[in-house]
Chain A
Amino acid sequence: MKTLNKINVAKSALPRKVVSRPAKVAIRQLPTGVRGLDEIMGGGLPEFSFNIIAGAPGCGKTTLAHQIMFANATPRKPALFFTVLGEPALKMLRHQQQYSFFDPTQLNRSIRFINLSSALLKNGLRGVVEEITREVEASSPAIVVVDSYRNVTRKTIAEENELDLQAFVQRLVLLLTSWQATTFMVGEYAEAEMRDNPVFTVADGIFWLSQNVERNSVVRKLQIIKSRGQGSVPGLHTIRITADGLQAYSRTLGLLQEKVRPAKRRRLSSGIPELDEMLGGGILEGDSLLVAGPSGTGKSALATQFLAEGLRHGEAGVAAIFEERPEGYTARAGTLGMDLRTPQKNKMLEMLYLRPLDLSVDETMQEILDAVKRLKAKRLVIDSLVGFEMALAPGFREDFQESLYRMIAALTGAGVTIFTTVETADTFNEMSFSHYTISFLTDDILRLRYVEIEGQLRKVITVVKMRGGNHSKDIREYIIGDKGVAIIGPRQEQYARLTTGLPDRIGQIKELAPEPKAK
């Protein structure tokens, strides 16, 4: 009775909230060590979770496991990497040490590699569990990796029965969870195996890596098929293996946390007063503007003027260029009286030249986003969409429009103003804007085109669309002079059907005075 009283006293002393509704357990999240993956995971790896890293050979499974280990292992809470009949440990170390995350000082201090092949071959699953138990109890690891778990089960299927395998999985999960380890079973699996293999049922998280070949390019993808206890970003995310190991590119491009643009927005000057006038006072801050026109109509010159005007007002800018090298772009701006060299030196302007082979759309977007964040840029130029799409591996082109939409939406939402150029083919019976579904991509559209007037090929500009307000409906002639694009003259009232490129004169022809007669 004395004991019971003690319990009663203790209970009444507890805060009311604890008695009536126990506080939820907080699941700590561990860093993955993979750029972009924490965001995809919804913050990181749930501590003490039991995970599967699955996929075909060459997808980066072992590298992913290594990155997780190196990001989390400490001498007090080490990582144990058990190898089983797979890649020889010496070769694995030989290759993995090439990555920048591989810190040799952690080896044997906070990361230990243990081979289980003998235990498996000699004593089967029992031997494996005994060996893992011994090592886990001896070092209380934070991270445990078994690579390849698939080889363990293959041996079992051949020699033992399915129940043994289920019992083994249960024992392993119980052991590793009780010893507060976050565990990763690495294995080569086909998707169909997910239904029958008991390890997929007990797993808290499943990382599925895949590698698809499309024409001449290879595209690696990651999917979080299962993530108990926390929301991950759904869908397939591009991954790339570089000298830094795996890098993941979230479908949200890491922009979920970006602030939203203010309700009241400024109008930014394009650098051309007459064009600002046509735009109703300038481009609305946070708008995405598309300039469409054929080759030679001055799209890049307009983009450069937009950047230069921002720089004049102390606004940092980023130019992602795909059709010309930065030196050439900078030099050409110089011939139009715009100095882009000094702002690049002063870290106010960054020119990104992105034309490697097999570029993935998400990593290109990430490069752009990184530059925008680095400079706290207010103005972004993408010159041009066609060049951007051409620089991508064929497998990524299908996703281009969707990814571009996501990036533009997120960046403009954060208040960055985007100026994009797109080349169009002019026909002389219609005025098209581009083959992209532009209404999704842009708030504002400017159209440049050639028109034939009085035996000359001249250029005209018009504002087709402006989502944020009223704009001029005029079609005005412009020239590209030594200071860039300059709009000349009021709207053309002498001609109709200018948009076709072959206008009809509707105004009166002014008779020219006859030339003086020769004496």
Chain B
Amino acid sequence: MNRQGATPAMRLFAECLMAYETKAGPVLAGNKPPAVLVCDKLRLPLATLMGNAGYRALLARALTLAKAETPWPSEVVIKPDGSLGGWETLEAQDDPQEMAEAGVVLIAQLLDLLTSFIGEDLMLRQVYEVWPTVQLPQGDSIAQRKNENTK
């Protein structure tokens, strides 16, 4: 499959999830970057659905696609349990703006991948399992879908 970069709608969705996580509580987050927090939270339902190996494979693919789209530090790796490792060293070394952008791209690619496999409906259902109250910006297609799904 010749994939393009993450779609604008999915980038917007990723930004919403990351913003939600940032607002949720920096104390609990332990200063993890928002993208890592989002991945951590998605890991449980997705690993339940597809197994730990399945989730790791999907995240690895998303990371590869994200690296092709935006610069990513080589320190970031996927650990055997499916969590992201190596992020601790990032804040000191990299431009925060650049890192935030990389995080958005990774999450957007992960959601895009899920969408291409199981469709937007089922992808959204998985996401709303984790963030049932997440507020999306009005007007984008995913927000409209959420409203339709919750009717």
Shortest C-beta distance, B128 to chain A (Å), equals 8
Q: How far is A9 from B50 in the complex, measured between Cα atoms in Å?
A: 58
Q: Classify the secondary structure of B's interface with A.
A: helix
A427 located at the interface, meaning its Cβ lies under 8 Å from any Cβ of chain B in the complex: no
Q: Which residue of B lies closest to A93 (CB)?
A: B118
- Let me know if A90 and B119 touch, CB within 8 A: no
The interface residues of chain B lying within 8 Å CB-to-CB of A89 are 49-51, 54
Residues of B with C-beta under 8 A to A88: 50, 54
- Kindly identify, within residues 60 to 102 of chain A, every residue whose CB is under 8 Å from any CB belonging to chain B: 83, 88-91, 93-94, 97
B125 near A107 with CB under 8 A, answer yes
Interface size class of A (residues with CB under 8 A): 10 to 19
Chain B 89-122 residues near chain A, CB threshold 8 A? 114, 117-119, 121-122
Shortest beta-carbon distance, B133 to chain A, in Å? 16
Whether B117 contacts A91 by the Cβ 8 Å rule is yes
Complex CA gap A117/B125 in Å reads 23
Q: A375 within 8 Å of B by Cβ?
A: no
Cβ contacts B21-41/A at 8 Å (1 or 0 each): 000000000000000000000
Interface contact tally, CB-CB below 8 A:
57
List the A side residues contacting B53 at CB < 8 Å: 117-118
Name the one of A91, A107, A115 contacting B48, with C-beta atoms under 8 angstroms: A115
With contacts A90-B118, A113-B49, A115-B49 taken as known, whether A105 is within 8 angstroms of B54 at the C-beta atoms is no
Instruction: List the B side residues contacting A107 at CB < 8 Å.
Output: 122, 125
* Residues on the A chain within 8 Å of B58, using CB: 90
Per-residue A-contact encoding for B66-95, CB less than 8 Å = 1, 0 else? 000000000000000000000000000000
For residue A212, which residues in chain B have a CB less than 8 angstroms away from its CB? none
Q: How far is the CB of A423 from chain B (nearest CB, A)?
A: 51
Are B125 and A90 touching (Cβ within 8 A)? no
Cβ of B60 under 8 Å from chain A: no
Chain B residues, CB < 8 A from A262: none
Closest Cβ of chain B to A139, distance in Å, is 12
| Residues of B with C-beta under 8 A to A94 | 117-119
- In the complex with contacts A104-B122, A105-B149, A108-B125, A118-B49 CB distance below 8 A: no
Q: Considering residues A94, A114, A115, which has the most beta carbons from chain B within 10 angstroms of its beta carbon?
A: A115
Q: Which of B54, B117, B119, B129 contacts A108 (CB 8 A)?
A: B129
Provide the residues of chain A in CB contact with B117, threshold 8 Å: 90-91, 93-94
Q: Is there a chain A Cβ closer than 8 Å to B143's Cβ?
A: no
In the bound complex, residues from chain A placing their C-beta under 8 Å from that of B121 are 97, 104
Q: How far is the CB of A426 from chain B (nearest CB, A)?
A: 61
In the bound assembly, the distance between CA atoms of A116 and B122 in angstroms comes to 21
CB distance from A519 to the nearest CB of B (A): 96
Residues of chain B within 8 A of A113, CB atoms compared: 48-49
Name the residue on B nearest A84 (C-beta).
Answer: B51
B118 to chain A: which residues have CB within 8 Å?
Answer: 90, 93-94, 97
Check A118–B51 contact: CB distance below 8 A: yes
Bound together, the chains give a CA A88 to CA B49 distance in angstroms of: 9
| A90 & B129 in contact (Cβ 8 Å cutoff) | no
Q: Which residues of B contact A104 (CB under 8 A)?
A: 119, 121-122, 125
- Of the candidates A97, A108, A112, A115, which one forms a contact with B50 in the assembled complex, judged by CB atoms under 8 Å apart? A115
Bound Cα distance A112, B122 (Å): 12
B118 closest partner in A (C-beta): A93
* B16 touches A (CB below 8 Å): no
B50 partner residues in chain A, CB cutoff 8 A: 88-90, 115
Docked complex Cα distance between A94 and B54 (Å): 15
Q: Which residues of A contact B52 (CB under 8 A)?
A: 115, 117-118
B109 to chain A, nearest CB (A): 15
Please, which residue of chain B has its CB at the minimum distance from the CB of A98?
B119
Q: How far is the CA of A107 from the CA of B45 in the complex (A)?
A: 12
Type the 1/0 row for A436-458, where 1 means its CB is closer than 8 Å to any CB of B: 00000000000000000000000
Q: Which of B50, B51, B119, B122 has the most CB of A within 10 A?
A: B51
Q: Which residues of B contact A116 (CB under 8 A)?
A: 51
Q: Are B122 and A114 in contact (CB under 8 A)?
A: no
Task: Give the complex CA separation of A136 and B94 in angstroms.
Answer: 47
B122 & A117 in contact (Cβ 8 Å cutoff): no
Contacts of A117 in B (CB 8 A): 51-54
Report the minimal beta-carbon distance from B47 to chain A, rounded to whole angstroms: 7
Given contacts A90-B117, A94-B118, A97-B119, whether A108 and B126 have CB atoms under 8 Å apart is: yes
Nearest-neighbor residue (CB-CB) of A97 within chain B: B119
- CB contacts (< 8 Å) of B48 on chain A: these are 112-115
Per the bound structure, the CA–CA distance linking A94 and B115 in Å amounts to 10
CB closest residue in chain A, given B151: A105
The distance in angstroms between the C-alpha atoms of A87 and B53, with both chains bound, is 13
The residue of chain B having its C-beta at the shortest distance from the C-beta of A114 within the complex is B48
16 A-B pairs with CB atoms under 8 Å apart are A88-B50, A89-B51, A89-B54, A90-B114, A104-B125, A107-B125, A108-B45, A108-B126, A108-B129, A114-B49, A115-B50, A115-B51, A117-B52, A117-B53, A118-B52, A118-B53
* Given A88-B50, A90-B114; 17 other pairs, CB 8 A cutoff: A83-B51, A88-B54, A89-B49, A89-B51, A91-B117, A93-B117, A94-B118, A94-B119, A97-B119, A104-B119, A104-B122, A105-B149, A107-B122, A107-B125, A115-B49, A115-B51, A116-B51
Q: What are the 5 A-B residue pairs with the smallest beta carbon separation, nearest first? A: A115-B51, A117-B51, A104-B121, A90-B117, A89-B50
B residues near A (Cβ < 8 Å) are: 45, 47-54, 58, 114, 117-119, 121-122, 125-126, 129, 149
| Residues of A in contact with B (beta carbons under 8 Å apart) | 83, 88-91, 93-94, 97, 104-105, 107-108, 112-118
